[in-house]
Chain A
C-alpha cells in the first residue's frame, strides 16, 4: 500500500523536475501566474467576464504568431495583442452588446492570427506551441518579465479593489456614488489582458482562461467572504498549476490539458461540497 504510494510520488516527482533550470523557471513563473489568475479570477467570476477571459488569450495568440513571423519575442506580440484586444473590447463595448463585441474582435484577431501563421514559411512550431502551452515556455529572462507584469497586474487590482467590487456587484449604486463604470471596466479588461499575456506561454492560449474562471468559481461555493474567496481561489490555482506542471513534465503532454482538468475537478468538488453542506444544514436547523 505505502510502497505503491511512494511509487506514485516517485513517478510524479521524477528526476530533474526541480533541478533543471527550465523547470525552475516553470515553477517560478507558474507560481506567479497562479497568484495573479487566482485574484483576477475572483473579479472575472463576479463580473461574469468568462467570455472576455476566454477571448483575450486567443487574440494574444494572434499577436504571438505575428511576433514569430517578425522574429521578435512572442511575449511582446502576446502582450500587445491581449492588451490591445482588451482596450478594443472596452472601447467598442459602449452602447452595444458586450458578448457580440468580444466575439467579433476575437474572430478578427484569429483571422489575423491565421494570416500571420500563413506568412511563416515553415511550420510555425513556436506559435502552435503557444496554443497548447509548454513547460519550457518561459526562459530565465522571461521569468523577470512575467514577475514585472504580474506585479503590475496585482498593483492595479489593489488600487481598483473597492470601486471594482462595487461596480461588479451593484453597478447602478456604484455609478450613483460617482464610480465611472466605463473606466473601471476598461481597466479591468487591461488587467485580464496582462494576466493572459503571462499565462499563455505556459498554460497555452486555448486553456489559459480556465485559470481565470475555474478556481474563483470553485472558491465562491466554499466561502462568502471576498478575502477568503480570493485566497482560496489562489490556493486552487496554485495546486492545479503545480500538479499540472509536474504531470506535463512526466508525460510530455500539454500543461493546459492538466490544468483545465484539475480546475474542473476542483469546481465539481466545491459545488458538491457546498450542496452537501446546505442540505445537511437544512436538516439540522429546518427553521432558519
Chain B
C-alpha cells in the first residue's frame, strides 16, 4: 500500500511548498473557471474567452517589458478586452469577426512586446505556457480573495444570469437588464481568464474555462448541477495534472519534467471526449445551435 502511494505521490509531493501552493492556486482557479465557464459555453462565447487570455498575455508582455509584473498586465488587459468585446457586437457572426479584429490589433502589439521579451530568456514561454510551480507566494491570498469575490458575485447574479444566458429575449421582456448583466458577466469572465492565464499560461486557460463546463453540460442539462460539476471536474483535472507533472520529473526524454499544461489540457480533453459517449438524457439542441 505504502509502495503504491509513494509511487503515485512521488516523495516530497505534499511537503514541497511550491507544490502545495500550486495545488491551492490551481484548485482555486479551476473552481472559478469551471463555474464561469458554464455560462461561457451557454452564451457561445468561447472565442471571446480565449481572446481575453491572448490579450491578457499581450498585457503581461507589455508589463514585463516596462518593468512591471505579469499579474497587473494580465488582469488589466483582459478586463479591457472584455469590455471591448462586449461593446463590439451582439449577433454571433458580427461578434466573431469583431472579436477576431480586436484580437488582431491587441495581439499585434502583444507579439511585438513578447518579441522584445525574448531577450529575457524564457519570458514568452512563461507568459504563454504558465508557471504554476513558480508563482509568487505573496500573490496567493490576493488571487484567492479575488476568486472568492467572483463566486459570491455569481451567486448574487445567479438567476438573472441564467435567465439571460438561456434566452436573452424572454429575459429582456421580463425586465432583466440583459445588457448590464452581460457586461458584468464579461468582466467576471475577464478576471477569471486573467487569473487562470497568469497561473496556467494564456494559451491554455481556455482549456479550464470551457473543457470542464462543456463536459458538465453533457452530463446534465440542469445548470444548477452543471456548475458544481464543472468546478469539480476542473479541480480534478488540475490536481491530477499537477501530480502527474510532479511525477514526470524523472520521465524521459529530457529528465526535467513534462509541463503541467500538457497534462491538464490532455485530461480536460479526454474527459470531454468520454462524456460524449454518455447517453444524452436531454436533447442538446440548445447547445448544438
The interface residues of chain A lying within 8 Å CB-to-CB of B273 are: 92
The interface residues of chain B lying within 8 Å CB-to-CB of A214 are: 100-101, 104
Interface assignment of A7: CB less than 8 Å from any CB of chain B: no
Which A residue's beta carbon lies closest to that of B110? A206
**B261-280 near A? 1/0 per residue, CB < 8 Å:** 11111101100110010000
**B94-113 near A? 1/0 per residue, CB < 8 Å:** 00110111011101111110
Cross-chain contact B254 with A253 (CB below 8 angstroms): no
**CA distance in complex: A119, B248 (Å):** 12
Q: Which of A195-235 contact B (CB under 8 A)?
A: 204, 206-207, 209-210, 213-214, 217
Interface assignment of B174: CB less than 8 Å from any CB of chain A: no
Interface assignment of A281: CB less than 8 Å from any CB of chain B: no
**CA distance in complex: A264, B46 (Å):** 22
Cross-chain contact A107 with B287 (CB below 8 angstroms): no
The interface residues of chain A lying within 8 Å CB-to-CB of B121 are: 123
Interface assignment of A118: CB less than 8 Å from any CB of chain B: yes
The interface residues of chain A lying within 8 Å CB-to-CB of B125 are: 114, 117
**CA distance in complex: A156, B266 (Å):** 33
Which A residue's beta carbon lies closest to that of B99? A50
Interface assignment of B115: CB less than 8 Å from any CB of chain A: yes
Cross-chain contact A108 with B269 (CB below 8 angstroms): yes
Cross-chain contact B204 with A253 (CB below 8 angstroms): no
Stretch of B15-23, B134-142, B175-183, B206-214 on the interface side = B206-214
Cross-chain contact A260 with B108 (CB below 8 angstroms): yes
Cross-chain contact B97 with A45 (CB below 8 angstroms): yes
Chain B CB within 10 Å — which of A95, A107, A253 has the most? A107
Cross-chain contact A118 with B259 (CB below 8 angstroms): yes
Cross-chain contact B207 with A111 (CB below 8 angstroms): yes
Cross-chain contact A118 with B104 (CB below 8 angstroms): no
Interface assignment of A151: CB less than 8 Å from any CB of chain B: no
The interface residues of chain B lying within 8 Å CB-to-CB of A260 are: 104-105, 107-108, 111
Interface assignment of A53: CB less than 8 Å from any CB of chain B: yes
B253 partner, pick from A97, A119, A206, A259, beta carbons under 8 A = A119
The interface residues of chain A lying within 8 Å CB-to-CB of B266 are: 108, 111
The interface residues of chain A lying within 8 Å CB-to-CB of B47 are: 50-51, 54, 99, 102-103
Cross-chain contact A207 with B104 (CB below 8 angstroms): yes
**CA distance in complex: A102, B47 (Å):** 9
**CA distance in complex: A267, B105 (Å):** 11
What count of chain B residues pass the 8 Å CB interface test? Answer: 62
Cross-chain contact A111 with B264 (CB below 8 angstroms): yes
Q: How far is the CB of B256 from the nearest CB of chain A, in Å?
A: 7
**CA distance in complex: A48, B222 (Å):** 29
Cross-chain contact A257 with B258 (CB below 8 angstroms): no
Cross-chain contact B46 with A110 (CB below 8 angstroms): no
**CA distance in complex: A92, B269 (Å):** 12
Q: Which of B23-64 contact A (CB under 8 A)?
A: 41, 44-47, 49-51
Given contacts A50-B99, A110-B265, contact A96 B207 (CB under 8 A): no
Cross-chain contact B118 with A110 (CB below 8 angstroms): no
B288 partner, pick from A96, A106, A128, A210, beta carbons under 8 A = A96
Q: How far is the CB of A239 from the nearest CB of chain B, in Å?
A: 16
The interface residues of chain A lying within 8 Å CB-to-CB of B207 are: 103-104, 107-108, 111
Cross-chain contact B50 with A209 (CB below 8 angstroms): no
Q: How far is the CB of B27 from the nearest CB of chain A, in Å?
A: 19
Given contacts A256-B108, A261-B108, contact A104 B258 (CB under 8 A): no
The interface residues of chain A lying within 8 Å CB-to-CB of B122 are: 123
B104 partner, pick from A107, A114, A131, A210, beta carbons under 8 A = A210
Interface assignment of B172: CB less than 8 Å from any CB of chain A: no
Cross-chain contact B288 with A95 (CB below 8 angstroms): yes
Q: Which of B205-249 contact A (CB under 8 A)?
A: 206-207, 209-211, 214
Cross-chain contact B206 with A107 (CB below 8 angstroms): yes
Cross-chain contact B100 with A115 (CB below 8 angstroms): no
The interface residues of chain A lying within 8 Å CB-to-CB of B201 are: 114
Interface assignment of B3: CB less than 8 Å from any CB of chain A: no
Cross-chain contact B261 with A110 (CB below 8 angstroms): yes
Which A residue's beta carbon lies closest to that of B103? A54
Q: Which of B122-168 contact A (CB under 8 A)?
A: 122, 124-125, 128-129
A110 partner, pick from B204, B210, B258, beta carbons under 8 A = B204
Cross-chain contact A254 with B258 (CB below 8 angstroms): no
The interface residues of chain A lying within 8 Å CB-to-CB of B263 are: 111
Can you report 28 residue pairs joining A to B where beta carbons are below 8 Å apart? A50-B47, A51-B47, A51-B96, A54-B47, A92-B276, A97-B44, A97-B287, A99-B44, A99-B45, A99-B46, A100-B41, A102-B47, A103-B206, A103-B209, A103-B211, A104-B210, A105-B269, A108-B268, A110-B261, A111-B264, A114-B129, A115-B262, A117-B125, A119-B253, A121-B254, A123-B121, A128-B118, A207-B104
Per CB-CB distance, the 8 closest pairs between chain A and chain B, nearest first, are A260-B108, A111-B265, A50-B100, A107-B207, A99-B46, A48-B93, A51-B47, A210-B104
